[in-house]
Amino acid sequence: MRIGRNFTNMLEASFLSKKEREDLKSGLLSVGDMDARVQIKAKKDIINQLEVGQKIGLSHIELDGGVPNPFLEMNKDQVTAAKAYAREKNMTMSLHLPYTYVAASTCAFQESDRVLAVSLQKRYIDFASELGCASVVMHPGSVPFYQAMGEYLNMVDESLGKTLIELFSYSEEREIVFHLENNTAFDTYGVYNSDIISIIKRVNDQGCKVKYCFDIGHWFTIDLPMHKKNFSREAIGKKPEDIVDEIPDNILHQVHLNDFWINPDPKGNPLFKFHPPLHYQKGFLKEENLRKLSEKFSSKGVKTVVVETAVRDTDELLNAEKILSDETKYLNEVFGI
Please report the pLDDT score of residue 229 as a whole number. Answer: 61
Query: Is 283:276 a contact under the CB 8 Å cutoff?
Result: yes
Q: Place 233 in a pLDDT band, splitting at 50, 70 and 90.
A: low
Please report the pLDDT score of residue 223 as a whole number. Answer: 86
Please report the pLDDT score of residue 132 as a whole number. Answer: 98
Q: In whole numbers, what is the pLDDT of the chain averaged over residues?
A: 95
The strand pair at 272-274 and 260-262 is best described as antiparallel
Strands (E) across the chain are located at 2-6, 60-64, 92-96, 135-138, 177-181, 211-213, 254-257, 260-262, 272-274, 304-307
Please report the pLDDT score of residue 234 as a whole number. Answer: 60
Phi-psi group of 211: left, alpha or beta (phi > 0 → left; psi -120 to 50 → alpha; rest → beta): beta
Please report the pLDDT score of residue 237 as a whole number. Answer: 81
Query: Is 278:308 a contact under the CB 8 Å cutoff?
Result: no
CA distance 268 to 271: 6
Q: What is the DSSP letter of 267?
A: T
Domain boundaries, the chain: 2-335
Please report the pLDDT score of residue 289 as a whole number. Answer: 97
Region 289-304 average pLDDT: 97
For residue 65, give the nearest of 274, 251, 308 by alpha carbon.
308
For residue 125, give the nearest of 60, 179, 176 by alpha carbon.
176
Q: Place 156 in a pLDDT band, splitting at 50, 70 and 90.
A: very high
Region 219-248 average pLDDT: 81
Class of domain 2-335: alpha beta
Query: Is 10:307 a contact under the CB 8 Å cutoff?
Result: no
CA distance 200 to 28: 47
Please report the pLDDT score of residue 249 as a whole number. Answer: 86
What confidence tens digit (pLDDT) does each residue in 238-263 have?
A: 899 999 999 998 999 999 999 999 99
DSSP letters for 21-82: HHHHHHTSS-HHHHHHHHHHHHHH-HHHHHHHHHHTT-SEEEEE-PSS--GGG--HHHHHHH
Query: Is 4:94 a contact under the CB 8 Å cutoff?
Result: yes
pTM for the full predicted model? 0.95
Q: Omega of the bond prior to 68 within 30 degrees of 0, cis? A: yes
For residue 204, give the nearest of 174, 175, 179 by alpha carbon.
179
Region 278-287 average pLDDT: 96
DSSP H helices in 208-319: 216-220, 287-299, 314-318
CA distance 156 to 140: 10
